[in-house]
Amino acid sequence: MNRLAHPRLLGGLPHRVSSVWVLVLALAASAPIPAAAQQAQPAPSVDTLAKRIDQMESEIKALKEQLATAQTQAQDAAAAASVAEPTYPSLNFHGFGDTQYEYTSDQKNFPNRFWLGELDFYVSAQIAPNTSIISENVLSADPSTNNWSFEAERIFIDYKFNPYFNVVAGRFHTEIGYYNTAFHHGTWFEMDTHRPWFLEFEDSGGILPVHMVGVSVDGEIPSGSANLHYWFQVGNGRSYDSALTPQNPTQAEHVDNGRKAVNIALTSKPSWAPGFQFGAGFYHQDVSPQTAVPGTGVEGFDVVPSVSLATEDETIGNVSVIYNGRDGWTFLNEAFLIGHRPTGDTTHHTFAAYSEASKKLGAWTPYARFTYVNSPASDPVYNLIQTTGLRYGPTFGLRYDFTDYACLKLQYDLTYESSSEQEQAPTNDVTFQVAFTF
């Protein structure tokens, strides 16, 4: 067999390489070789040459792999170096608003009306890796003047030491139940067109201290699958004044009687119950309600002489069971027991609760809520702000998210009210709302 035609040497190599080897072997075969050299060093066989070629190919393949790895590492390093370091402050702005039409059978109020809700300007600023600032300023329609009013609803600085200890200082929403901190001032976040009655904001008829000016500390509690979280808050509580004294219920500058409010809360999101959250809390403050001095009110003046009533011990206990499931179902359940005990008197208890359910079906979400409030006429605090009596009723509604940033809500409310003096006819309300964010 001709050595130059060996299949191992020629058949397994590219055509150009094979041609080179044929030429080399031909020249070697035709060149004169001294006899002594031919006897001392015999020419290598074709099999030996083929093995050498295989070895060289393996070495070249290994070198190519090392080169590719080095190139990939260099590209990764260059990409990491090109990522810009975060700059501070980093600002984010969002806006929320709503407008609505409402019809009510209560002829004492405005039986049918278009009205603007809140125009909410929300700004967050990250000023350091562990420090942020929240500012929420709201323009809202004032029914008493048929005009706009402005208020800084939330403004605080948040410093996160670690997952177990965070500090907030400023004006914030009191961690009193679930709804108050889950839904702030943008109605776009809420399923309904409005909050449960007793959880309305202080200047909109609510009976709870939903804002606080002070300091809040919160963090995780190492608790395994229970996933506990705590809050401890101290600050200026709310004031309870008669309609003739124009003081803002959220005491921004000082407390009337110098005594601070204290609030504690605890929540659990157990890993063995996905979607569930359980909560409980307790709030306490000494309140000194203000009422106008009889016969001193002068029309046209902003300040009316007032007198403090007896200091009262206010306590608020609350529990909540919440479910936000991936199946589209949401259940919100909360109950509050509010106690007011004037000095030297017995405690007057008010019970308030609501239960809400909704089911998301694509862009459509039907929902229902039942709200109940029962405050005795003997409660001197709630009597002062005219919120005593029994009030309860169902709410039914349908929400349609026609874009990711705007929705329509159609809602019907049936409300029963009664007091120690009389029982009123049920009130029927129909509301059509457009809520949006930007």
pLDDT in tens, 105-136: 887 767 788 988 889 999 999 999 999 999 99
| Interatomic CA distance for residues 160 and 304, integer angstroms | 44
Whether 138 and 73 share a structural domain: no
Cα distance between the two ends of the chain: 86
Angular region, 247: left φ>0, alpha ψ -120 to 50, beta rest: beta
Whether 78 and 94 share a structural domain: no
Q: Which of 260-264, 362-366, 417-421 has the lowest mean pLDDT?
A: 417-421
Containing structural domain, residue 40: 3-82
Whether 149 and 117 share a structural domain: yes
Judge whether 216 and 264 are in contact, CB under 8 Å: no
pLDDT digit string, tens, across residues 295-326: 544 444 444 445 556 678 899 999 999 999 98
pLDDT digit string, tens, across residues 80-94: 666 667 888 999 999
Whether 132 and 76 share a structural domain: no
Whether 111 and 70 share a structural domain: no
Identify the band that residue 47 occupies on the pLDDT scale cut at 50, 70 and 90.
confident
On average, the pLDDT of the chain sits at: 83
Q: If you search the block for the tokens 């509301």, which residue do you land on?
A: 431
Higher pLDDT, 244 or 353: 353
CATH code: domain of residue 227? 2.40.160.10
Judge whether 138 and 151 are in contact, CB under 8 Å: yes
Select from 151, 198, 154, 205 the least CA-distant residue to 177: 198
Whether 67 and 126 share a structural domain: no
pLDDT at 10: 41
Whether 34 and 151 share a structural domain: no
Total domains in the fold of the chain: 2
Whether 69 and 136 share a structural domain: no
Whether 286 and 349 share a structural domain: yes
Whether 24 and 100 share a structural domain: no
* Listed residues 62, 82, 102: the one ending a domain: 82
Token couple for 119 = 């125009």
pLDDT digit string, tens, across residues 338-352: 999 988 788 999 999
* Listed residues 82, 113, 135: the one ending a domain: 82
Token couple for 438 = 């930007």
Whether 196 and 123 share a structural domain: yes
Phi, psi of 171 (to 5 degrees): -105, 125
Whether 261 and 297 share a structural domain: yes
Q: If you search the block for the tokens 């605080």, which residue do you land on?
A: 156
